[in-house]
Amino acid sequence: MYKESILLLVMQDKNHRFMALDCLHRVLRFYLSVHAANQAPNRIWDNLDSVTSQLLAVLRKGLLTQDVQHDKLVEFCVTIAEHNLDFTMNHMILELLKQDSPSEAKVIGLRALLAIVMSPSSKHFGLDIFKGIINYMPRIIVHCYV
């Protein structure tokens, strides 16, 4: 997934940020639904890490300031969680909720967590999602209140 770097470069231009986010989200969703099934888990993890670390870096730089861009980051979290909840919790939600994260990152993290729990397309139904998330709750609380 080296196409994401080109899209992230396009994100430097504020007039193209949402388009780049939307394209990257579509590519990621396609990758997870079609190609990831034929790859080793560590390869998938590396590809997801590449994309999400660059997205979080763009957010930390303050380049994503519009609500629609924040909504798209929430969609990224939900999409990845549908395929790999552990990755999303460890590499997205907890990163967004870090104490030194900007307030908008924390809001995005909390919104994403709520969206994951409420997602109708989740593999877990109703309260079953909490079985996957409950192990992360102490760390989420520490990240939010310390």
Full residue range of the structural domain in which residue 33 is found: 3-145
Averaged pLDDT for residues 46-51? 92
Q: What is the model's pLDDT at position 16?
A: 86
Share of the chain above pLDDT 70, in %: 76
pLDDT in tens, 97-114: 988 889 999 999 999 998
**Which pTM does this prediction carry?**
0.80
Question: Residue ranges of the alpha helices (H) in 31-134?
Answer: 41-60, 67-83, 85-88, 94-96, 103-118, 128-133
Q: What is the model's pLDDT at position 11?
A: 74
* Stronger pLDDT, 99 or 2, i.e. the higher one: 99
Number of domains in the chain: 1
Place 138 in a pLDDT band, splitting at 50, 70 and 90.
Answer: low
CA of residue 55 relative to chain centroid, distance: 8
